[in-house]
Amino acid sequence: MPRVLLVEDNAANAYLARYVLEAAGFEVDWAANGQLGLEAAAARRPDIILMDLRMPVLDGYEATRRLKADPSLRDVPVLAMSAQAMPEERARALAAGCAAHIGKPIDVTTLADEIRPWLP
C-alpha cells in the first residue's frame, strides 16, 4: 500500500484529501505544517508527499527545499497543492523542488489518479 504524507494546515482540506486517498487504497499520514511535515517525512519515509504551499510555521516552499536537501528524502516526489494556479506560483513550486502542482480545491474524482504516476 503506497504511503502518502499530506502536509496541509487546513483540517477540513486534510480530512477530505485523506478520506479520498484512503478510499483509493493509500496509507495517509497528515502533518499540519511544514515543520511537522519534515519530521513526519524523516520518521515515516513516505512514497510521495502532497505539500500545501501556504502554511504557518514553515511554508511548503521552504519545507520542500529542505526535503530536497536531505539525501535520504530527496528522491521522494513532492507534489505542490495550492489554490494559487498562476504560472508564477507553479514555477516557484517547481523551483523549490516540487515535481508537479495540484490545484485546490482538490478534485475528489481525480486526486488518486493525479498522484499515481509519481509513485515509485
CA separation (Å) from 97 to 41, 60, 106? Answer: 15, 10, 21
Closest CA to 93 of 53, 48, 46, 35: 53
Q: Average pLDDT for residues 59-84, to the nearest whole number?
A: 95
CA separation (Å) from 51 to 76, 98? Answer: 12, 9
Using pLDDT thresholds of 50, 70 and 90, give the confidence band for residue 83: confident
Using pLDDT thresholds of 50, 70 and 90, give the confidence band for residue 60: very high
Q: What pTM did the predictor assign?
A: 0.95
25: left (phi over 0), alpha (psi -120 to 50) or beta: left
**Fold observed for domain 3-81+99-106:** Rossmann fold (3.40.50)
Using pLDDT thresholds of 50, 70 and 90, give the confidence band for residue 87: confident
